Amino acid sequence: MNRKWVVVGALAAVLAIVLGARLGHDLLTQDPAAKPAKPAKPAAPTVKRFHETVSDISLSFPASWTQLPSPDPEVPLLAVAPGRTAVLQLRRSATGLEEDITRDTLPIAKRLTDPLFAAIKHTKLIEPAKAVEMGGLVGWRYRYTVDGDQRARDHYFLFKGRFLLSMVFEVKPASRLQAVTPQFDRIASSVHNGPPQ
């Protein structure tokens, strides 16, 4: 056999042994934690975003709540908390007014919202109606009980152009209103004039 081929064969064998040993060493000493991590799953959203396209307003409510189909086309949003202990309803209707309601004309708008509130049966105000401004919209909030202490509501009448948006938060029994008010306030403060951001 040619001496040259013996040397080449020997070198190839040594190289194979060295590379094999190196590979084995790397596999045995490699830290499993150092392997590229799989991409983490994105965290589940904590809120659901809703866009009412006719009046072009949006809001967010807890992801744990369930949005229900509404049989009324003027009620684009109906959502319930787990156990159906709280409800959120958004109703859209035309104001019939010729001018937009602004902060300056809000006292005049109360002449419209007071009769709407009075038309709701078996109510008792917990506190006087309060002027509110939320996400570029102005309106009035009525806080009241329904049917004695069976239910309590935070009821917002908000004005946007030719639309009156009635946003109702209801909780049962009424004694739970104080406990859920921070959650109701967070949802109300998410109201935004325009599509979700």
Question: Among all chains, which residue has been given the structure tokens 């951001």?
Answer: 197
Give the predicted TM-score (pTM) of the model. 0.76
Task: Work out the mean pLDDT of the chain and round it to a whole number.
Answer: 82
Q: What is the pLDDT of residues 115-168, one digit of tens each?
A: 999 999 999 999 999 999 998 899 999 999 999 889 999 999 999 988 999 999
Residue 120 has a CB neighbour count (10 Å cut-off) of 13
- Closest alpha carbon to 139 in 117, 115, 160, 170: 160
Pairing of β 57-62 and β 47-52:
antiparallel
Amino acid (one-letter) located at 130: K
**Structural element, H or E, at residue 125:** strand 123-134
Residue 82 token pair: 């787990």
Q: Which CA distances in Å does 18 have to 4, 5, 11, 115, 118?
A: 21, 20, 10, 91, 91
140 close to 113: Cβ distance less than 8 angstroms: yes
Q: What is the pLDDT of residues 153-196, one digit of tens each?
A: 999 999 998 899 999 999 999 999 999 999 999 999 999 888 88
**Structural element, H or E, at residue 139:** strand 137-146
Burial class of residue 182 (count of CB atoms within 10 Å of its CB; 0-12, 13-18, 19+): exposed
Question: Among all chains, which residue has been given the structure tokens 């329904």?
Answer: 146
Q: What is the pLDDT of residues 66-97, one digit of tens each?
A: 999 998 999 999 999 999 999 999 999 998 88
Residue 37 token pair: 């991590």
Q: Would you say how long the chain is, in residues?
A: 197
Q: Which CA distances in Å does 158 have to 71, 76, 89, 95, 122?
A: 22, 15, 13, 10, 23
